[in-house]
């Protein structure tokens, strides 16, 4: 049953959320989330998957006034949203929401900044649209998971949030906005959450196509195409609309510090701490036993040959910590993963399902590691959770360090500083292009063209 009262509240939240109406806490969280996403997309734009998406867009959406971050070329709104959507999730370093097992932020961010460029909005309007996208996306994620009876991935529920935020920035009337979110609800991609873990590919979580579909829904509504009755207006899901403007799910996002699937982060952190405390190297290790929740074991386990096999992998990221001391953009996206030591190291790492950890998944993602050294010592980490699980524990300073870690590989640190300054200090009344220009400049800069992405 389509509830017109709930529809009115949903549309009012989308249309009326503004910088002026948001509390200081929500404003600060919006900037914090924007900073993280901006830093991730500028690095992700260099990746092989981002370049391939840009090539596709060049051939099929060749004209327009919206920037494709991976190349600096122009496309139309739909094409650039698709390409930039790919860049947003190219590194698998973007935020996530544990109870939906997905990535709300990257699910709309490429389309969001594309629409901001197209609409010439203010920075405050851009941040307000970001808040709308988070809150609507996450609520739709809960809705469609229950309605269809299985887990949809980020590219599914982000379609609805993308349509809401892009429609807001493009100035749609309530009537047109209703059509846009209704169309988005109907054409949302079917992205099975677990298939991306079983067989890694550039499709990842379908994030790029969710943004394509959500933006397409807005353009279709603008031309008069209609839709009706988004599922979230059914009686049993109105509870999610009732809390709009009161409960903000974006405060429950986790932040990522490794360039790979979240499911691998807790054993990586556990191993990193054991290395730090005990001072051993890869040459000292006889074997590593990883005990984790069962879903982590569904990830790829072989030596990677491309970025997708590296990121959706439960064993390689742990090997990267042991061999390289980190798992960032270089380890997850370039030919560094082809280091001849990798296959042998992977053979030393064994995954075990821990039933006790299954009991608290997905809300908690515990792992522990047991390292057997060649000298006979056995080191146990104890149970670990991933860093960044509690959003409030991640500070702006933590994010500044993250942005420099992942962007200074390819660009002078001054450019990263300029982006950070623009995100945090640009006034709400200033044109959004002040911030967008810094994103575009950093995304297109690569002072190390010799790096080979695979």
Angle of helix 123-148 versus helix 4-16 axis, rounded to 10: 150
Segments of 104-180 assigned E as strands: none
Separation of alpha carbons 291 and 383, rounded Å: 9
CB 236 within 8 A of CB 136: no
pLDDT digits (tens, 9 = 90+) for 392-426: 899 999 999 999 999 999 999 999 999 999 999 99
CA 37 to chain centre: 7
What per-residue confidence (pLDDT) applies to 134?
98
**Sign, Cα dihedral of 310, 315, 319, 322:** positive
Backbone dihedral angles phi then psi of residue 192, each to the nearest 5 degrees: -65, 125
Separation of alpha carbons 369 and 323, rounded Å: 16
CB 205 within 8 A of CB 103: yes
CA 68 to chain centre: 18
Q: What is the pTM of this model?
A: 0.97
Containing H/E element for 208?
helix 207-222
DSSP letters of 266-322? HHHHHHHHHHHHH---GGGEEEEEEEE-GGGGGSB-SPPSSHHHHHSBSSHHHHHHH
CA distances from 413 to 87, 447, 450 (A): 21, 11, 19
Domain 4-252 in CATH: superfamily?
2-methylcitrate dehydratase PrpD (1.10.4100.10)
Separation of alpha carbons 42 and 30, rounded Å: 18
Question: Which pair of structure tokens corresponds to residue 154?
Answer: 């980020």
Per DSSP, what are the bridge partners of residue 192? 152
Q: Give the SS3 label for residue 326.
A: coil
CA distances from 60 to 56, 63, 85 (A): 6, 9, 16
Q: Which of 187, 118, 117 is nearest to 155 (CA)?
A: 187
Separation of alpha carbons 14 and 227, rounded Å: 18
Separation of alpha carbons 181 and 228, rounded Å: 9
Question: Which pair of structure tokens corresponds to residue 232?
Answer: 């979230």
CB 49 within 8 A of CB 93: no
Q: DSSP letter for 245, please.
A: T
What per-residue confidence (pLDDT) applies to 365?
95
**Sign, Cα dihedral of 42, 43, 45, 49:** negative
What per-residue confidence (pLDDT) applies to 203?
87
What per-residue confidence (pLDDT) applies to 193?
67
What per-residue confidence (pLDDT) applies to 248?
98
What per-residue confidence (pLDDT) applies to 195?
75
Question: Which pair of structure tokens corresponds to residue 405?
Answer: 């870690």
Separation of alpha carbons 158 and 136, rounded Å: 8
What per-residue confidence (pLDDT) applies to 151?
76
Question: Which pair of structure tokens corresponds to residue 44?
Answer: 């992700």
Containing H/E element for 371?
strand 367-373
CB 257 within 8 A of CB 387: yes
Rg for the chain (alpha carbons), in Å?
21
CA distances from 175 to 17, 212, 222, 235 (A): 17, 21, 10, 21
Distance between start and end Cα atoms, the chain: 49
Domain boundaries, the chain: 4-252, 262-380
Q: DSSP letter for 173, please.
A: -
Matching CATH number, 262-380, of 3.30.1330.120, 3.40.605.10, 3.90.850.10, 3.40.50.1370: 3.30.1330.120
Residue ranges in the chain whose pLDDT is less than 50: 1
Q: DSSP letter for 254, please.
A: B
């Amino acid at each position: 049953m389509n509830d017109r009262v709930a529809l009115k509240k949903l549309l009012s939240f989308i249309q009326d959320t503004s910088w002026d109406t948001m509390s200081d806490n929500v404003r600060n969280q919006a900037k914090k989330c924007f900073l993280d996403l901006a830093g991730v997309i500028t690095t992700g734009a260099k990746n092989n998957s981002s370049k391939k998406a840009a090539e596709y867009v060049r051939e099929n959406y060749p004209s327009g006034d919206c920037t494709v971050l991976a190349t600096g070329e122009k496309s139309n709104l739909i094409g650039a949203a698709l390409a930039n959507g790919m860049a947003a999730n190219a590194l698998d370093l973007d935020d996530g929401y544990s109870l939906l097992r997905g990535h709300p932020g990257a699910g709309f961010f490429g389309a969001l900044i594309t629409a901001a460029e197209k609409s010439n909005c203010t920075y405050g309007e851009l941040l307000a649209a970001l808040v709308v996208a988070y809150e609507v996306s996450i609520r739709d994620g809960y809705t469609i998971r229950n309605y269809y009876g299985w887990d949809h991935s980020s590219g599914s529920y982000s379609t609805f949030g993308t349509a809401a935020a892009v429609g807001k920035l493009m100035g749609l009337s309530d009537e047109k906005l209703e059509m846009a979110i209704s169309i988005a609800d109907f054409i949302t991609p079917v992205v099975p959450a677990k298939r991306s873990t079983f067989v890694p590919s550039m499709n990842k979580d379908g994030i790029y196509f969710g943004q394509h579909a959500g933006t397409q829904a807005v353009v279709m509504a603008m031309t008069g195409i209609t839709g009706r009755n988004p599922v979230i207006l059914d009686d049993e899901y109105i509870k999610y609309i009732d809390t709009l403007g009161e409960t903000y799910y974006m405060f429950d996002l986790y932040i990522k510090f490794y360039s790979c699937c979240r499911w691998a982060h807790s054993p990586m952190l556990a191993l990193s701490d054991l290395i730090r405390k005990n001072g051993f190297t890869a040459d000292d290790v006889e074997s590593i036993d990883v005990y984790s929740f069962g879903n982590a074991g569904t990830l790829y386990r072989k030596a990677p040959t491309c970025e997708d096999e590296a990121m959706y992998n439960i064993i390689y990221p742990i090997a990267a910590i042991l061999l390289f001391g980190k798992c960032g953009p270089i380890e997850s996206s370039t030919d560094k993963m082809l280091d001849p030591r990798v296959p042998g190291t992977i053979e030393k790492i064994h995954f075990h399902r821990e039933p006790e950890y299954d009991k608290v998944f997905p809300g908690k993602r515990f792992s522990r590691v047991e390292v057997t050294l060649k000298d006979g010592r056995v080191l146990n980490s104890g149970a670990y959770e991933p860093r960044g699980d509690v959003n409030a524990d991640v500070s702006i300073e933590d994010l500044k360090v993250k942005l420099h870690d992942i962007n200074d590989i390819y660009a002078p640190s001054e450019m990263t500083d300029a982006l950070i300054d623009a995100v945090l200090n640009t006034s709400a009344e200033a044109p959004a292009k002040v911030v967008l220009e810094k994103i575009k400049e950093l995304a297109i800069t690569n002072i190390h063209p010799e790096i080979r992405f695979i």
